[in-house]
Copies of this chain bind each other. A is one copy, B any other.
Amino acid sequence: MSKSIREQFTAHTLAGVDPTSSAGVKNKEKALALVESLGPLFREQQTRLYANQDRAILLVLQGMDGCGKDGVVKHVVDLFYPTSVRVTSFKAPTEQEQEHDFLWRFRQHLPSPGTIAVFNRSWYEDVGIAKVHNLAEPAVIDERYGLINDFEQEVAGSGITVLKCFLHVSYDEQRQRMLDRLADPTKRWKFKEADLEERRFWLQYMDVYDTAIQRCSRESTPWYVVPADHKWYRDWVVSQLVAETLTELQLEYPVPHLDIEALTKRLTSD
């Protein structure tokens, strides 16, 4: 019972993590209430983080189509004030971005001190889809794991706590979510036939993600594999990971050097 949430969900491989798991939470209602109850803690810690202008948080959301990256933003990231949080969704790199090394575009969006950044997709696309679809030479892709490890160490060393979450959804659940998108006129615009094509590469994707998780797990930048077939469980896990991280930073309000009495006097008489 004394195992932290981060220890509990740290994984060095995808194998053995059951996407349908809901271990540790009784039911949906309980999970929703627990997530919601973290709002005050999120906002308090966010304010302290910002006040100190020292540390920062980077939440990386990775996973297959329909795994719920947007859902986590809508239900977990939403607990923060919008003031010092920035969500960036990474699509296929633009021409300008392609002129730089693959990590360049992510560097542009790293959180500044005191803020929280959320990356919807990340540099793992460059060892994910890039590998599945041979978008670069095998040797080039192979070299990236080392570059990623160095980059993540550098980021962590600069005071940014990195939370890499792989939202682990099953093949069957992805089908169900795609069917739901097709059936619902308010969600249909999200459906892309290309996503259906990508499903054919499911096993290759599982394989490349497994490799990435195996090769890019360091003590200061581990991977968290989040069972994501139950949306409420996924949100509960991510919210707990963030809450634990924020709490362990032990943030206090800075105490400015002010002559409060003199300033108060000056204000009241102006």
Give the residues from 74 to 91 in chain A that come closer than 8 angstroms, CB to CB, to chain B: 74, 77-78, 80-83, 85-87
A255 CA to B186 CA, complexed, in Å: 9
A78 to B82, Cβ gap below 8 A? yes
A270 at interface, CB cutoff 8 A: yes
A85 CA to B264 CA, complexed, in Å: 38
A256 to B188, Cβ gap below 8 A? yes
B74 to A178, Cβ gap below 8 A? no
A73 to B81, Cβ gap below 8 A? yes
| Total copies of the chain | 2
A215 at interface, CB cutoff 8 A: no
Known: A182-B260, A255-B188, A258-B188. A270 touches B81 (CB 8 A): no
A106 at interface, CB cutoff 8 A: no
Selected interface stretch from A136-144, A191-199, A222-230: A191-199
A254 at interface, CB cutoff 8 A: yes
Point out which of A83, A179, A183, A193 has the most chain B C-beta atoms below 10 A from its C-beta: A83
A267 at interface, CB cutoff 8 A: yes
Q: How many whole Å from A270's CB to the nearest CB in chain B?
A: 7
Query: For the side of the interface on A, what is the size category?
Result: 35 or more
Beyond A175-B267, A193-B258, 20 additional pairs, beta carbon < 8 A:
A47-B186, A51-B190, A73-B81, A73-B83, A74-B82, A74-B83, A78-B82, A82-B82, A86-B86, A175-B270, A179-B268, A182-B258, A182-B267, A188-B253, A188-B255, A188-B260, A189-B253, A189-B254, A189-B256, A196-B263
Q: Hey, which bits of chain A sit against chain B, CB under 8 A?
A: 47, 51, 70, 73-74, 77-78, 80-83, 85-87, 118, 175, 178-179, 182-183, 185-186, 188-191, 193, 196, 199, 253-256, 258, 260, 263-264, 266-268, 270
Can you list 21 residue pairs at the A/B interface with Cβ under 8 Å? A47-B186, A51-B189, A73-B81, A77-B82, A82-B85, A82-B118, A83-B87, A175-B270, A179-B267, A182-B258, A182-B263, A183-B260, A183-B264, A185-B253, A185-B255, A188-B255, A188-B260, A189-B254, A191-B258, A191-B263, A196-B267
